[in-house]
Chain A
């Protein structure tokens, strides 16, 4: 059973479908083990798991960086990825980084508009190496959004930021998601981040889904919301961390 391409959508109204995806490296134990996952259009899914649980492999496969060798993946053509590191080209000014690979007219205006959205229009002409960590990650978000993706992948995008900047960025992502309405897959270690942002939390363990739970707390959410505690201990439990 080997399908590698993004064929036409067999399930209307579904952004991303992963079916029986198995991936192993050098005949070792499977990193992804017959994984099934569906993400609806506009749905925000948080993917949790320990290092080595297969989170990154799943994301890389969805991004098209790793091949599909066993199983099938269907996803929209327009996808964007934001990585833990900003991965901006240091030799291009911020706005040039945003429009990288896009050559149609009026792209500069769209870049400026997106930079405005992420609150970075004043650094449009700056060199990336002069940006702070938070600013660089905003620029990376802008670069992802300017392509109007139907599916946005965020690979621990705030892990390298300080705690205060992280809170601001989480708020920003929540706002941008509401505005753009794309499906989002957020890979994270942070249970609170998942609870704050996602419609659904998926915990991965040894290449399989261990827990798949909807988060129905009304938005905008706060850490003091009553539903938080129960879900937090459920997810921490699934991650093998037992609250005392």
Chain B
């Protein structure tokens, strides 16, 4: 008849600890096992004729076609063209987005002049500009790169602008009591303070630029991964289309990893919990 209760955690022996560890490996294996099983089922369905190759090629066929496309240079060439387009578009987007965000973030007049039109423009779906771009710039590289640039610029601008505006005014005040010049304040306070938001914007921008690229290359192009896929459509080559999809997937994954790496390196000053959080 006592009011006291004893609170204890589960007592872990070495054996029990070993068990949890092996359980954890099992869980991670299970995560990869499920997609693997699905791919195997897909292969079996194709081999047994349940799935027509007109609808979807078998995984083995995709691997073989992929290898052939690499050997005859089709894939490297088209990949190079696509990467160049995405890269130059993104580069343009970063340059423009950062410049505009600095203008509108660092001065009130700049904000009035720059922010309002951009806020209006950002509500337009960038993809709807395609017909206009073709009329203006023809079907060369310019409209494709510009489409990527315009689409990717908005996430950069919006996030960096927000980042600059949300700098703690107390830090700016402190910089002023320390006698920092305007330029030093921008370099040491505003830019590093807005960097986390810029990187968030960059991650979105990279995703958007792939999206824009797919559309640009499928509407009118004579090269690039998107063109390769559209070409394959004419010949019912689902295997080539799927190779293209796979390449887009890998590109998206890799660029995300690069931005994540940048975040972990450049934002080392954050406490661990906030590093590399998923978007």
Which A residues have a C-beta under 8 Å from some C-beta of B?
63-65, 79-81, 83, 85, 87, 89-93, 100-101, 127-130, 143, 147
Chain B 163-187 per-residue mask, 1 if CB under 8 angstroms from chain A, else 0? 0000000110111111110001000
**Bound state CA distance, A200 and B170, in angstroms?**
29
A-binding segment of B55-63, B188-196, B215-223: B188-196
* 28 examples of A-B residue contacts, CB within 8 angstroms: A63-B177, A64-B177, A65-B173, A65-B176, A80-B178, A81-B174, A81-B177, A83-B170, A83-B174, A89-B189, A89-B192, A90-B269, A91-B192, A91-B193, A92-B192, A92-B269, A100-B178, A101-B175, A101-B178, A101-B179, A101-B180, A101-B184, A101-B188, A127-B268, A127-B269, A128-B269, A130-B271, A147-B178
By Cβ-Cβ distance, the 9 closest A-B pairs, closest first, are A87-B174, A91-B192, A101-B180, A127-B269, A81-B177, A91-B269, A101-B178, A63-B177, A129-B271
Instruction: Count B-side interface residues using an 8 Å CB cutoff.
Output: 20
Chain B 1-28 per-residue mask, 1 if CB under 8 angstroms from chain A, else 0? 0000000000000000000000000000
- Specify which chain B residues have a CB less than 8 angstroms from the CB of A81 in the assembled complex: 174, 177
Interface of A is mostly: loop
- Specify which chain B residues have a CB less than 8 angstroms from the CB of A80 in the assembled complex: 177-178
Q: Quick check: is B162 within 8 A (CB to CB) of the other chain?
A: no
**Bound state CA distance, A218 and B189, in angstroms?**
44
Q: Quick check: is B122 within 8 A (CB to CB) of the other chain?
A: no
- Chain A residue with minimal CB distance to B181? A101
Interface of B is mostly: helix
- Specify which chain A residues have a CB less than 8 angstroms from the CB of B175 in the assembled complex: 100-101
Task: Please determine whether A92 and B188 come into contact, CB atoms closer than 8 angstroms.
Answer: yes
Task: Please determine whether B269 and A100 come into contact, CB atoms closer than 8 angstroms.
Answer: no
- Chain B residue with minimal CB distance to A78? B179
From the candidates A87, A89, A127, A128, name the one contacting B188 in the complex (CB within 8 A).
A89
Give the A-B pair count, Cβ closer than 8 A: 52
Please give the distance in Å from B269's CB to the nearest CB on chain A.
4
Task: Please determine whether A85 and B170 come into contact, CB atoms closer than 8 angstroms.
Answer: yes
- Specify which chain A residues have a CB less than 8 angstroms from the CB of B179 in the assembled complex: 101
**Bound state CA distance, A128 and B269, in angstroms?**
8
- Specify which chain A residues have a CB less than 8 angstroms from the CB of B180 in the assembled complex: 100-101
Task: Please determine whether A100 and B170 come into contact, CB atoms closer than 8 angstroms.
Answer: no
- Specify which chain A residues have a CB less than 8 angstroms from the CB of B30 in the assembled complex: none
Q: Give me 5 other A-B pairs in contact (C-beta within 8 A), A89-B188, A91-B192 excluded.
A: A79-B177, A87-B170, A89-B193, A101-B184, A130-B271
- Specify which chain B residues have a CB less than 8 angstroms from the CB of A100 in the assembled complex: 175, 178, 180, 188
Please give the distance in Å from B177's CB to the nearest CB on chain A.
5
Task: Please determine whether A64 and B176 come into contact, CB atoms closer than 8 angstroms.
Answer: yes
**Bound state CA distance, A101 and B171, in angstroms?**
13
Q: Which of B171, B174, B184, B193 has the most CB of A within 10 A?
A: B174
Please give the distance in Å from B116's CB to the nearest CB on chain A.
28
- Chain B residue with minimal CB distance to A63? B177
**Bound state CA distance, A130 and B180, in angstroms?**
25
- Chain B residue with minimal CB distance to A126? B269
**Bound state CA distance, A130 and B272, in angstroms?**
10
**Bound state CA distance, A129 and B267, in angstroms?**
12
**Bound state CA distance, A163 and B176, in angstroms?**
31
Task: Please determine whether A129 and B270 come into contact, CB atoms closer than 8 angstroms.
Answer: yes
Q: Which of A63, A89, A128 has the most CB of B within 10 A?
A: A89
Please give the distance in Å from A63's CB to the nearest CB on chain B.
5
**Bound state CA distance, A237 and B29, in angstroms?**
73
Please give the distance in Å from A156's CB to the nearest CB on chain B.
14
- Specify which chain B residues have a CB less than 8 angstroms from the CB of A83 in the assembled complex: 170, 174
- Chain A residue with minimal CB distance to B195? A91
**Bound state CA distance, A80 and B268, in angstroms?**
29
**Which of B38-65 touch A at CB < 8 Å?**
none
- Specify which chain A residues have a CB less than 8 angstroms from the CB of B188 in the assembled complex: 89, 92, 100-101
